[in-house]
Chain A
Amino acid sequence: MLPTKFMRFALLGALVASAAASASAQMLINGAGATFPQQIYTKWFDEYQKIDPSVRFNYQGIGSGGGQKQILAETVDFGASDGPMSDENLAKAPRTLWHLPTVAGAVVVSYNLEGSPAINLDGPTLAAIFLGTVNKWNDPMIVALNPDAKLPAADIVVVHRSDGSGTSFIFTDYLSNVSPDWKSKVGKGTSVSWPVGLGGKGNAGVAGQVKQTPGAIGYVELAYAHQNKLPFASMKNAKGVFMAPTLDSVTAALAAATIPEDFRFSMVNSPGETAYPISGTTWLLVYAEQKDHARGEKLVQFLRWAYSDGEKLAAGLDYAPLPDAVVKRALDRVQAIKY
């Protein structure tokens, strides 16, 4: 009995294997990394499948750390990261590795106050709140920015992300930019040693804790805040204008940011007149010279499509598209990829 059963099993296995082989006539391009842009990337790959059915993209949102590691080890065709790679990590690349910005996002400061009054904040005040030096809602620093709002004498409960995230990177990058105190005591990173506050897991964790805790203040991704209708603060930008976080004010921030040759830039506290200051971008990590001709060609074709038609899909998913000037520069870089 046993041998025949085993043979049937083996036969089944062979069938499955051959089915898989016939499906792999379609080229599979693998990518891995950041979770923040996962929604738009998935959308892009879906749409692109309709344009070029001969190639299929597989993207694993394993986090920026994993994305950087995998592209360095060349186990994927492209990586993705919410923060630019450090010089130290970039030096580990076997060949020239390029950063390509894809879409931008913003970090929204949300809070829980009775009646949800609209409030204004500026960089130094926000840094002081997250440092714990301003810990009452009626602190003179906050009152000075909001002369008309009714602010209670309640304690401020700070809520931050507990998981490593690009959102935390943009937020701490901004605080480091506007507050020397923050820069020297805490610094910027996907995870930092928070001086005060509670940690919530993911946007949902932070938003949940802010909603649950009277007097709480926290930060979440723009898309998440929009979709869940959270109250948010307007932030004073570098030109002294209070800006609400919108896709337009994020694109404006990107347009006014200084972008270096290698695209590893920070766009927080951008000097644009209508720029929202807590904004950041996310990158694809691609080798300047592709090892495999056929795969490299498909990847470049896809990137060209992403920068022309793909960008138009961004706003629908609450990502800010890149301004035209940046798209043009990125496209030049894509054209220079050798395969």
Chain B
Amino acid sequence: MTDSPQPSNPLPAPGSQGPDIAFKWAAAFAAATIIALIILVGWELYAGSRLALAKFGASFLWSTEWDPVTDKYGALPFIFGTLVSSLLALLIAVPLGVATALFLTELAPQKLRQPIVMAIEMLAAVPSVIFGLWGIFVLIPWLRDHLFVWLKHYLGFLPLFQGPIYGVSMLAAGITVAIMILPIITSISREILRSVPNLQREAAYALGATRWEVLKIAVLSYARRGLFGAAILGLGRALGETMAVTMVIGNRPQIAASLFAPGYTLASVIANEFTEATTDLYLNSLFELGLVLLAVTILVNVAAQIMLKSMTGGSPIKVN
């Protein structure tokens, strides 16, 4: 028995708390890093935008002027563009993503599931700038010559679909971003739907429910909170999307009722103008736009959490 090999990595003596404590602190440190990062980003943005904060005060938020020549800056058209393009993207991507996830978990034949999942994951791997180029050269000509003309013809009585059609527009940006956030919404929704216990479905079937009723009663209502969480994650991506948006939105700081009109987003204007900003106030104002974007993102998320709470009665988002 003397030559039996020693285990190379002996377990700690029973009762030793060392590894437990070390792990606890390591995990706490990792969590603290994230909080510290957000605070640091916020602080740096604040420090970088002091001049603009002092000069414009709160009026920065509702001023619609953005004129580097006369050094007058306001954020409202960019806030508007960011919110509207992201909302459009969600309106398109959430139904599509959830429906795809439902198809994949509940309806599709086994053979089809894996290929479709792979196709969706490939979509997530396409770089933003490629979506932008595809938007300019493929999507926009098609939108301009077909979809937008159709919308204007049949829905032109709504202010949303009036005015000249250029192709590049708020709606084009919404559609492009929708395609970009589709993978994340679909994959998370799929995981959530998969985690719905089979017992739920079986119980519904046992009550004599049809397939659609099973989906409605047993699956969707059970997964509602998680699906909402998937939409919020998609929204987070949509708010910060930069390259593809700037290539298709038309980059015009204006607030227009029509979805055919060009717009501008916070992330896009920072990316566009940062490199050539020469005066201090200009640079500070661009920093302040970053601060506003951070605040908008946080506010939208908080609002979503509150909505979720009122919807589900206090329990946190269930992602798994």
Known A-B contacts A208-B136, A212-B140; A164 and B277 likewise in contact (beta carbons under 8 Å): yes
Residues of A within 8 A of B65 (CB): 193
Chain A residue, CB-CB nearest to B65: A193
- A189 within 8 A of partner (CB): yes
A-B CB pair tally, cutoff 8 Å:
105
Interface-located stretch among A196-204, A248-256, A262-270? A196-204
Give the interface SS of chain A, mostly helix, strand, loop or mixed: loop
Residues of A within 8 A of B67 (CB): 192-193
| A35 to B272 CA separation, bound complex (whole angstroms) | 13
Contact (Cβ within 8 A) A199 B167: no
Q: How far is the CB of B160 from chain A (nearest CB, A)?
A: 19
> Residue B283 at the A interface, CB < 8 A?
yes
Docked Cα-Cα span, A26 to B49, in Å, equals 40
**Which of the 9-residue segments B27-35, B191-199, B246-254 touches chain A?**
B246-254
Tell me if A198 and B262 are in contact (CB < 8 A): yes
Known: A63-B275, A65-B277, A164-B275. A189 touches B251 (CB 8 A): no
Docked-complex contact B275 and A66, CB < 8 angstroms: yes
Best-buried of B8, B69, B252, B268 by chain A (most CB within 10 Å): B69
Cross-chain contact B136 with A187 (CB below 8 angstroms): no
Interface 1/0 per residue, B104-129 and A, CB below 8 Å: 00000000000000000000000000
- Chain B residues, Cβ within 8 Å of A64: 275-276, 278
Task: Give chain A interface residues in 82-97, CB to chain B under 8 Å.
Answer: 82-83, 85-86, 88-89
The minimal Cβ–Cβ distance linking A73 to chain B, given in whole angstroms, is: 13
Interface size class of A (residues with CB under 8 A): 35 or more
Among A187, A201, A212, point to the contact of B69 (Cβ < 8 A). Answer: A187
Q: Does B273 contact A (CB under 8 A)?
A: yes
With A162-B251, A212-B141 as contacts: A201 and B278 at CB distance below 8 Å:
no
Residue B46 interfacial (CB < 8 Å)? no
Q: With the chains together, A57 CA to B67 CA distance in Å?
A: 36
Q: Let me know if B272 and A201 touch, CB within 8 A.
A: yes
In the complex, per-residue mask of B59-83: 1 if CB is within 8 Å of any chain A CB, else 0: 0000001111110000000000000
Q: Among B70, B136, B271, B278, which residue has its beta carbon within 8 angstroms of that of A190? A: B278
Please pick, from B69, B137, B140, B271, the residue contacting A189 in the complex, using a CB distance under 8 A.
B69
B166 at the interface (CB under 8 A from A): yes
Residues of B that sit less than 8 Å from A by CB: 8, 65-70, 136-137, 140-141, 144, 164, 166-168, 246-247, 250-253, 262, 264, 268, 271-279, 283
Can you show 6 pairs from A to B with CB atoms below 8 A apart? Answer: A65-B278, A65-B283, A89-B279, A164-B277, A213-B144, A213-B166
